[in-house]
Structure 1
């Protein structure tokens, strides 16, 4: 048996060379060390490096047949022999991909009564379903296979707008032309709408803010309305030309009377200051809610406002299903949502 000092020297060599050796060169080096030590060299190298005796003996065989080792490796960059390593599951399990696709999309590729037809198709549940069918697979492999098949995690996308009016493009063009005409004549153009009702109190608001770790802001567990605080209805007026907005907060209901009162507040507080020479006012709005084109009270209140302000009002409604094209949605309301994200509306 070789001395401990010899094994310590081998161990030091191994630690220094290990970062630079791959599997093939490591076998060759360990075999060369064992051969140089003579009898007991394999045991000493194995103890010093932690390599198995089988690995060292394999290196000895490769060193004894250098030409065979060179010809068996197709390229210098390849370490293992072709076909080495564990086979992929899709190669050993012929029905794996078929069963996975049947679970992911049962309506077109499998049984409509699939066990995952009416449940969420998470990787964990897909894995369990495949294992119940006799497949040996992990959630990580399921994710890899789904990616190879062209699947990805996706949410619903709001793209279907329902029946489209044949002259919808002409409606949008008319609104755009009218806005440009008003702006050229230095007449005010506003976009109006009501934002969704908001709970007042210590309630959760969507979004995230930086806070000290493990110290989130605590809010109520349930979103039951506080009888005393109630809800608020923000009604916004956005001046398209001046790029300024006004929001009136209501405490009762979103009515046409409230909508016109908000426009009136905007005019007296902001509009007449920005547009002192205005003779006309253009209002763009969606076609539903308190400012719906069907609501007679909306029309009546607007007429009262026109008489009061001595302005000629021009109202343009967006076609059904296109309220998101209203400027106030992404110029004013989006900023409000961003401002109070993750904050309870308690003040």
Structure 2
């Protein structure tokens, strides 16, 4: 008895509706079940209607007969093409040989990357006798632990000494000010922005097919107006203030931005404040070594009656400044994808900056002129240095400027005769052989031998400076006798004790000691001893003592080593 035509017509309709939605294994099992339901001749009829081979339906019948479902597989075990690496054993070594010369970064990193494209690698492998497609190369690279990666700007710049200690000092000082409800601000200048119909990076939501258009080339000439945003971020209030300059980024512009913030916002947020903490970079207009920046800050201190403390981040660490990732990053987000055709648009965009944490930003336009080339006279520099109270810890980065008190007499001029005497016990301690690498008698002979050299060099410097501006010569540093200059130079060269601890023991300012030590270092080349900068039993230390206890322990270890060696 044959299969009815009506039954075949029904199956034809069902196959047309169902089979496109099934994968290979599901189709095989479904067709086998229909063939079994038709009985004799079912396999042939179903194979003809579904346009598949009879062996496919037979395999499906066998799989149904086993009764054990194989989950997660479409084909039977062992089916399909083998991976390219299995078909060609030499493929992986050939690929490694191609990518190793182009490999960038750490070769032992779990995720590496290569600069060659997939098509380049596939073409070179095919030419070498290993035919492969670009997608297959991508899959092979992924299985080998490679991935596409961009560059990450995470490596810090120069590793200056006490870098982490300065971070901790800034954090502790800021927390102390905030706990007393005193203002703490982070300041910096954002990159210069040209004003005009120029393209900007970023994307904004627009009607589809209607982007904001800009010229295909940006031509910025010297007459193009520019905007220099200088930001003041208040850590306590989570508010930002941006002074948009139109001239140059100078020390006067930086201080004027701080003055405007205080007069228009700061004094209202902190009506009872008498102190202000500023964190800034070490370079730029608010540089740690800028006398102009300190002079203009002193003017603010006098005008507002504020005692201003400034803490500079170490060189190469400006990205840690709060204004960078609390204020400037959000402003950049607000300015994305729209041309800054006028100062008004720039101010409106900055003012519209908001965050979920409650950040609000104010912006004003500063059209004042800030010419470059300002200089200070020697008396002005001396007056500024006298007003700046340097901290004991890295006074070149941390200092305080108090309001000028007219009732207070100006500090006396530095006088060699009036300088406090250096304690004899401190000199005796610092001339220990463990620190200088020589006996005290050898050190005394060294001081005597270098005295004529010092006189010759001093006379040569005086002749060189005749009729010239003495700017920069001993700019406000104290005086030091020849013996202790040589001692500071030797200790600095050998690095057996920090200059900070040396200055504390000698009763001198660290900057004074550093200044004279570096000016005396060239004299050590005239020493009679073959090598005064290192001793065989005491190599140069990488972590010199920072406290008196550590110094005494180092001397005790040296003496014990000498005794054990002699015994």
TM over 0.5: yes
In the TM superposition, residue 76 of structure 1 has moved relative to its aligned partner by 4.4
Tell whether 2:264 aligns with 1:266: no
Structure (1 or 2) with the larger CA radius of gyration: 2
User: 1:153 matched to which residue of 2?
Assistant: 148
For 1:184 and 1:60, the matched residues in 2 are separated by 82
For 1:265 and 1:101, the matched residues in 2 are separated by 61
1:130 to 116, 121, 125: 125
User: 2:54 matched to which residue of 1?
Assistant: 56
Which has the bigger relative contact order, CA under 8 A and spacing at least 6? 1
SS in 2 for 1:157: coil
SS in 2 for 1:261: helix
In the TM superposition, residue 103 of structure 1 has moved relative to its aligned partner by 2.8
For 1:139 and 1:300, the matched residues in 2 are separated by 64
Alignment of 1:96-245 (within 5 A): 96-106=91-101, 120-225=115-220, 227-245=222-240
CA contact (8 A) 2:47 2:57 kept: no
SS in 2 for 1:22: helix
For 1:24 and 1:181, the matched residues in 2 are separated by 76
User: 2:15 matched to which residue of 1?
Assistant: 14
Give the count of matched residue pairs.
328
SS in 1 for 2:264: helix
Alignment of 1:84-103 (within 5 A): 84-103=79-98
What TM-score does the superposition give when structure 2 sets the normalisation length?
Answer: 0.52
Deviates most, 177-186 or 142-151: 177-186
User: 1:323 matched to which residue of 2?
Assistant: 318
Alignment CA distance shift 1:11-1:224 (3 Å): same
Alignment CA distance shift 1:180-1:106 (3 Å): same
1:198-235 Cα shifts (integer Å, max 9, x gaps): 12112222211111112111012223215544221100
User: 1:255 matched to which residue of 2?
Assistant: 250
1:267-317 Cα shifts (integer Å, max 9, x gaps): 111111112222222111011111111222212222222222222211100
For 2:75 and 2:274, the matched residues in 1 are separated by 84
User: 1:291 matched to which residue of 2?
Assistant: 286
For 2:255 and 2:75, the matched residues in 1 are separated by 78
What TM-score does the superposition give when structure 1 sets the normalisation length?
Answer: 0.82
Q: 5+ residue gaps in structure 2? A: 105-113, 343-567
1:177-203 Cα shifts (integer Å, max 9, x gaps): 221222233322211100011121122
Deviates most, 257-266 or 305-314: 305-314
For 2:60 and 2:208, the matched residues in 1 are separated by 56
Tell whether 2:32 aligns with 1:28: yes
Deviates most, 204-213 or 99-108: 99-108
SS in 1 for 2:40: helix
CA RMSD of aligned residues (A): 3.1
In the TM superposition, residue 129 of structure 1 has moved relative to its aligned partner by 2.8
